[in-house]
C-alpha cells in the first residue's frame, strides 16, 4: 500500500540557508542569559535570606527588650511583696522610704509608681479611712462610694506626686478590666496584668495607653494551697501602673531605627487593642514582616513587626539590578562572538552539503523501499489473521449447527418407529430443544448483523423489571436445569419500572444466564440480584464457574472471542458481545468482574432510570468500549 504522503527526495532538499546563521548565536545568548538569570536569582535569594536573618535578629532583640522591661516591673513588685512579708504592718513612711530607694523616675521610665491596694471589709471602712487620714493623708476616702461587701482601696503609692495623688483611695475592683486582672492574681497566687486601660494618672492632653500589674499579698506570707483559702487570706495587692509609650521608649537601642512594631493587647491584632506603634500610617508596605506573642503576667500581647526604610536601604539587593544589566551586556557579547563563528561554520557546511545530497537521496530511496516492504508484510499478516479467524468461526459455526442435527435425526426416527408414548414424547422434547438452540444461534447471528449495519430498532415501553427478569429466567431455565445448576433469585420489587424494550432486555439477561450456565461445571450455583438508586438499575448475574483471568475480561466482549472453552462445549463467542451492544443501545452498559480462573464471574447489566435511548440507535461503537 503506497504511502499517501511520501517524503520529498533527499536530493531535492535545499542547502542550509544563510539566514540560519543566527540560530546558534541566539541559543548562546539565551543560554548565557538563562545562566546569569539563575545565578542572579540565587544571589537574590541568598541576599534575601541574609536580610531575613538580620530582620529576625532585630525582631528577637526588640521582643527581648520589651520582655525585659516587663520582667523588671514584676521584679519590683516581688520586692514590695517581700517588704510586706518582712513586716507585720507596713507604715506609710516605711513604704515611702522603700520606694524612694528604687529611684523609679530615674531608672524605670514608664512605671508611674509602686503602690499597695488594701482589702478592707465594709464594717472596717470608716475606721480605716480615719486611720489613714491620721497618718498623713488629709481628706483620704475610698471612692467610688457605692456600698459593697469589701473594698480594695489604693492606700500607698509612691512617688506621691501630682499624678499619683489622683489615684489615692480609688477602689480598682469597681472597674471591670482592673477587676478581672485582680481576681485572676488573687485566685492564681501569681502576678496578673490587666488589659489596655487609661490610667487615673493620665492628666496630659494626649494620654498614653496604659496597663497595671498586680501581685497578690496574703496574710502569713506564702501562697495558700486552694482558691478558697487564697480569697480568705488576701491582704491586698502590690501593683504598678505603667504607661506603655514611656515604658518601651529607648528599650530597643539601635533596633529602633531598623524595625517598626505595633503592640496589641491580646492574641489578635485588632485596632481597638493597639497599645503602641512606631509605624507611619499610610507608608509603603514593609519588605519584611513578622509576628511575635509575649506573655505578660499571664496575659497575651501580640507584636507585629515590619522593616524600616533604613533597614531596607542597607540591603545588598539594590546591587542586583546593576548586576543584571552587566549580565545582559555579557550575554550579548557572547552572542555576537557566536554569530561570527556560526557564519564561518555555515559556509563550510554549505560546501559539504552538496556532496552529501546524492548519498542522502540514495539512503532515502532505500528507506522508502524498506517501509513499503514492512507495510506489505503488516497487511499480509492482518489478512492471514482475518482468514484464520474466519476459518475458526466457520468451523465452530458448522460444529454448532451440526450438533443439533444428530439428536433431531434420532428423535425423528424414534417418533417414526414408535407409537405415541413416553419415548416419543422425550424424542419430541429433544427435537424441540435442539431446534430452539439452532434458532437461538441463528437469531444471535442475525442480531449481530443488524447491529453492525445499524438496522436494529428498539420498541421502548414502561415495563416492570421483575417481569423482564422472570421472562429471561424462564427462557434460560431448560439450560440451567439440564446442567444441574441451582438458580437463586434475589427479592424483586414489582413496583420498580423502566422504559425499555422488554424483549431486548430479556434477551440481554438470557445471554448472561446462558453464559453463566455454559461456563459453570454441572451442579454449580447461579445468582440473580437487582439493585436500584435514583440514577440507575443494576441487574447482576453471578456464578461460581470457571472464571476469567482479569487481563482477558475486556476481550470476552469482542465478537467471536471466548476466553476459555466451556466445560460442555458450545457457543460461538457472540453472546456477551451482542448483550453489550444491546445494553449500549438502551443507554446502559455491562460490567464484568472475576477474581481469576476457578473463582466464578459476575456480569452486571446497568440501565439508566431515564429509559431507552430512542429508536434505531447506532451500534457502531465497539461493545467493549461500553462494557468495562
Find the largest Cα–Cα distance for the chain.
148
pLDDT attached to residue 347: 74
Cα separation, 107 vs 101, in Å, equals: 11
> Is 87-248's fold the same as 455-627's?
no
Under DSSP, the state recorded for 111 is B
Query: Among 215, 173, 222, 217, which residue's Cα sits nearest to residue 190?
Result: 215
How many C-beta atoms surround the C-beta of residue 287 within 10 A?
Answer: 17
List pLDDT tens digits, range 529-559. Answer: 999 999 999 999 999 998 888 888 777 777 6
Give the lowest-confidence range in 22-36, 171-185, 197-211, 283-297.
Answer: 22-36
Under DSSP, the state recorded for 144 is S
As a whole number of Å, the CA-based R_g of the chain is 50
The residues near 83 (Cβ < 8 Å, ≥ 6 apart) are: 90, 94, 95, 98
- pLDDT higher at 71 or 251: 71
- pLDDT higher at 597 or 153: 153
What cell was used for 24?
A: 546558534
Instruction: Give the alpha-carbon dihedral of 446, 448, 449, 453, to 10 degrees.
Output: 140
List pLDDT tens digits, range 165-193. Answer: 989 999 999 999 999 999 999 999 999 99
What cell was used for 319?
A: 546591587
Query: Across the strands, what pairs with 606?
Result: 538, 589
Average pLDDT, the chain: 83
Cα separation, 322 vs 332, in Å, equals: 16
List pLDDT tens digits, range 115-126. Answer: 999 999 999 999
What is the separation, in whole angstroms, between the first and last Cα of the chain? Answer: 35
Cα separation, 460 vs 613, in Å, equals: 9
Instruction: Let me know if domain 87-248 sits in CATH 3.30.450.350.
Output: yes
**Residues 423, 429, 432, 435, CA torsion sign:** negative
List pLDDT tens digits, range 86-111. Answer: 887 899 999 999 999 999 989 999 99
List pLDDT tens digits, range 38-55. Answer: 988 888 888 889 989 988
Helices 23-86 and 92-102: crossing angle, nearest 10°?
A: 150
Instruction: Pick 455-627's CATH classification: 3.30.160.160, 1.20.1580.10, 3.30.565.10, 1.10.340.30.
Output: 3.30.565.10
Q: Give the residue extent of every domain in the chain.
A: 87-248, 455-627
Count of CA atoms in the C-beta half-sphere (13 A) of 73: 32
Backbone torsion region of residue 450, taken as left when φ is above 0, otherwise alpha when ψ lies between -120 and 50, otherwise beta: alpha
Share of the chain above pLDDT 90, in %: 44
Cα separation, 247 vs 109, in Å, equals: 5
Amino acid at each position: 500500500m503506497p504511502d499517501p504522503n511520501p517524503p520529498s527526495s533527499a536530493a531535492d532538499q535545499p542547502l542550509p540557508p544563510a539566514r540560519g546563521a543566527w540560530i546558534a548565536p541566539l541559543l548562546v545568548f539565551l543560554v548565557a542569559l538563562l545562566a546569569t538569570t539563575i545565578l542572579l536569582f540565587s544571589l537574590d535569594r541568598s541576599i534575601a535570606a541574609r536580610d531575613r536573618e538580620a530582620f529576625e535578629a532585630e525582631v528577637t532583640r526588640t521582643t527581648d527588650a520589651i520582655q525585659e522591661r516587663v520582667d523588671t516591673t514584676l521584679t519590683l513588685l516581688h520586692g514590695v511583696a517581700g517588704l510586706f512579708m518582712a513586716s507585720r504592718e507596713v507604715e506609710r513612711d516605711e513604704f515611702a522610704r522603700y520606694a524612694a530607694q528604687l529611684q523609679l523616675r530615674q531608672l524605670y521610665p514608664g512605671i508611674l509608681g509602686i503602690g499597695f491596694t488594701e482589702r478592707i471589709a465594709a464594717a472596717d471602712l470608716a475606721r480605716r479611712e480615719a486611720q489613714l487620714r491620721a497618718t498623713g493623708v488629709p481628706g483620704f476616702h475610698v471612692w467610688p462610694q457605692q456600698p459593697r461587701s469589701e473594698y480594695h482601696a489604693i492606700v500607698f503609692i509612691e512617688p506621691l506626686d501630682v499624678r499619683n495623688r489622683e489615684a489615692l483611695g480609688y477602689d480598682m475592683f469597681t472597674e471591670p478590666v482592673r477587676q478581672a486582672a485582680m481576681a485572676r492574681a488573687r485566685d492564681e497566687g501569681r502576678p496578673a496584668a490587666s488589659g489596655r486601660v487609661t490610667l487615673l494618672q493620665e492628666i496630659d492632653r494626649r494620654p498614653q495607653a496604659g496597663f497595671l500589674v498586680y501581685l497578690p499579698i496574703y496574710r502569713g506570707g506564702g501562697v495558700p494551697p486552694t482558691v478558697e483559702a487564697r480569697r480568705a487570706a488576701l491582704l491586698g495587692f502590690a501593683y504598678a501602673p505603667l504607661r506603655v509609650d514611656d515604658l518601651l521608649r529607648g528599650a530597643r537601642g539601635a533596633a529602633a531605627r531598623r524595625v517598626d512594631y505595633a503592640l496589641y493587647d491580646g492574641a489578635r491584632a485588632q485596632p481597638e487593642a493597639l497599645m503602641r506603634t512606631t509605624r507611619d500610617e499610610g507608608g509603603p508596605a514593609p519588605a519584611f514582616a513578622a509576628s511575635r506573642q509575649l506573655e505578660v503576667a499571664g496575659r497575651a500581647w501580640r507584636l507585629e513587626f515590619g522593616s524600616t526604610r533604613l533597614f531596607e536601604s542597607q540591603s545588598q539587593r539594590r546591587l542586583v539590578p546593576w548586576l543584571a544589566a552587566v549580565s545582559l551586556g555579557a550575554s550579548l557579547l557572547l552572542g555576537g562572538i557566536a554569530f561570527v563563528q556560526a557564519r564561518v561554520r555555515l559556509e563550510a557546511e554549505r560546501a559539504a552539503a552538496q556532496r552529501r545530497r546524492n548519498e542522502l537521496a540514495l539512503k532515502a530511496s532505500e528507506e522508502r523501499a524498506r517501509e513499503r516492504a514492512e507495510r506489505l508484510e503488516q497487511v499480509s499478516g492482518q489478512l492471514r489473521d482475518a482468514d484464520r479467524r474466519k476459518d475458526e468461526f466457520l468451523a465452530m459455526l458448522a460444529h454448532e449447527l451440526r450438533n443439533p442435527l444428530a439428536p433431531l435425526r434420532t428423535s425423528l426416527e424414534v417418533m417414526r418407529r414408535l407409537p405415541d408414548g413416553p419415548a416419543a414424547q422425550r424424542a419430541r422434547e429433544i427435537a424441540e430443544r435442539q431446534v430452539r438452540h439452532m434458532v437461538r444461534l441463528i437469531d444471535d447471528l442475525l442480531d449481530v448483523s443488524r447491529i453492525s449495519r445499524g438496522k436494529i430498532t428498539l420498541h421502548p415501553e414502561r415495563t416492570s423489571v421483575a417481569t423482564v427478569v422472570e421472562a429471561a429466567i424462564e427462557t434460560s431455565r431448560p439450560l440451567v436445569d439440564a446442567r444441574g445448576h441451582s438458580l437463586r433469585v434475589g427479592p424483586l420489587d414489582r413496583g420498580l419500572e423502566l422504559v425499555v424494550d422488554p424483549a431486548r432486555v430479556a434477551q440481554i439477561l438470557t445471554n448472561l444466564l446462558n453464559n453463566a450456565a455454559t461456563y459453570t461445571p454441572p451442579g454449580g450455583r447461579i445468582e440473580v440480584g437487582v439493585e436500584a438508586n435514583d440514577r440507575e438499575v443494576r441487574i447482576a448475574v453471578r456464578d461460581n464457574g470457571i472464571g476469567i483471568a482479569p487481563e482477558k475480561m475486556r476481550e470476552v466482549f469482542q465478537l467471536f472471542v471466548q476466553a476459555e472453552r466451556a466445560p460442555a462445549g458450545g457457543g460461538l463467542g457472540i453472546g456477551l458481545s451482542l448483550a453489550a451492544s444491546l445494553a449500549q443501545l438502551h443507554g446502559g452498559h455491562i460490567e464484568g468482574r472475576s477474581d481469576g480462573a476457578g473463582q466464578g464471574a459476575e456480569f452486571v447489566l446497568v440501565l439508566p432510570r431515564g429509559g431507552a435511548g430512542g429508536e434505531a440507535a447506532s451500534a457502531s461503537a465497539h461493545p467493549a468500549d461500553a462494557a468495562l
